[in-house]
Structure 1
């Protein structure tokens, strides 16, 4: 299907979401660079191929082509015009964030497995989480997404989700919270936005201005 939804946040952050319902052939992008074509052909998973191509569809929807996107040696995506970009995709959705400021984005499926590994990433949030509440898995998924998105903004190795990032207490109705990264002797604050899309959670992170 075409573009699924768009969200606009402060600091001119624009997020575009694609619902991946097409086949690989239907998602085909004719203007792939040689490097991207080789990368696509090297993907054995149809899910990964669809995610890769749907991101290119989102680029096109925002006035870019595949040749405008390149990657830092760390894997961080960049655009040739200097606009800040972050990308994410799952089995069902892909999303692209464009901004004037550094930005990170993540989309996660709400699944029971997140409850089984909560102890690995919620050391700083356990005080406000209730494992018996009906929204427990949803909140865990948002927290995981927050930490993934922050990691994409900072893009530094060695960051521990469990020890270095603390998400402030939030309600799912808020659709906004804050988080703090305490890493290498420096504390950095982040503004967090989140949305529910079917049984997925979309999370956006940027530095507190």
Structure 2
């Protein structure tokens, strides 16, 4: 089974990252989908079907054998107290669960692209502390954190410049990074973490203040 990463910090966060490179037949043999899930799988387009099998594989490894539901904003949820977040990137699927609200993101390192869109998601106050050395690494992490905040917040306040802010941090994988969601009335602090996986940035954001 191509689990490429397994984060397990008890109820704080559990994240499985899966490289979906098996055949559909092998995944189906591993998953043994019930009739309802098999019908859902068969009605999906090929790429979505692969992602669905990867999602089910991650859920199985996490011991969370539930169907994932989505609210009116597209935010996933489970029929339990556990919070869930899902992300895909170039054949990799990551699923995170926590007793706290969680948002995760996995992104392939693409230095040229991230540099080109820098001004679309990095605030002026963030550019003041952004180091020139290793700037592309910082940009990928900031982008992933803001994607995680967006998912955690259910797709509200989507403007990465106006509503999401990341405090200065050092490039230390698994170390806490402080970040914020703000509107005209209040600000709320969150904690983010990151690590590298086979040329991808895996980032998770938690609301456990």
TM-score (norm 2): 0.87
Q: Is the 8 A contact 1:68 1:79 kept in 2?
A: yes
Q: Does residue 41 in structure 1 map to residue 43 in structure 2?
A: yes
Any conservation in 2 of the 1:105–1:152 contact (CA below 8 Å)? yes
Q: Does residue 18 of structure 2 align to residue 24 of structure 1?
A: no
Structure 1, residues 16-53: CA drift from partner, whole Å, max 9, x if none?
A: 11122223333334425647744663325x3x432221
Give matches, 1:120-131, under 5 Å.
120-123=120-123, 124-131=125-132
User: Cα 1:35–1:25, aligned 2, differ >3 Å: closer, same or farther?
Assistant: closer
Which sections of structure 1, spanning at least 5 residues, go unmatched? none
Provide closer, same or farther for how the CA distance between residues 127 and 25 of structure 1 changes in structure 2, counting only shifts above 3 A. farther
Determine which structure has the larger helix proportion and give its number. 2
Deviation at 1:77, TM superposition (A): 1.0
Q: Does the CA-based 8 Å contact 1:23-1:50 persist in structure 2?
A: no
Which consecutive segments of 4 or more residues in structure 1 shift more than 4 A? Answer: none
The CA distance in 2 between the partners of 1:190 and 1:152, in whole Å, is 13
* Contact map agreement 2:165 2:181 (CA 8 A) in 1: yes
Aligned length: 204
Q: Secondary structure at the match of 2:136?
A: helix
Partner Cα distance (1:139, 1:37) in 2: 42
Q: Aligned residue for 1:191?
A: 191
RMSD: 2.2
Q: Is the CA contact (8 Å cut-off) linking 1:86 and 1:105 kept in structure 2?
A: yes
Output the CA distance in 1 between the equivalents of 2:157 and 2:182.
12
**Structure 1 CA distance for aligned equivalents of residues 9 and 113 of structure 2:** 30
Change (3 A) 1:206 1:107: same
1-side partners of 2:149 and 2:207: how far apart? 9
1:59 maps onto 2:63 in alignment: no
Q: CA deviation at 1:69?
A: 1.9
Once the two structures are overlaid, the 10-residue window that deviates more, 118-127 or 16-25, is: 16-25
What TM-score, normalized to structure 1? Answer: 0.87
Following the alignment from structure 1 to structure 2, what is the Cα–Cα distance between the partners of residues 92 and 137? 23
Gaps of 5+ in 2: none
Aligned counterparts of 1:19 and 1:42: Cα–Cα separation in 2? 20
Aligned equivalent of 2:73: 74
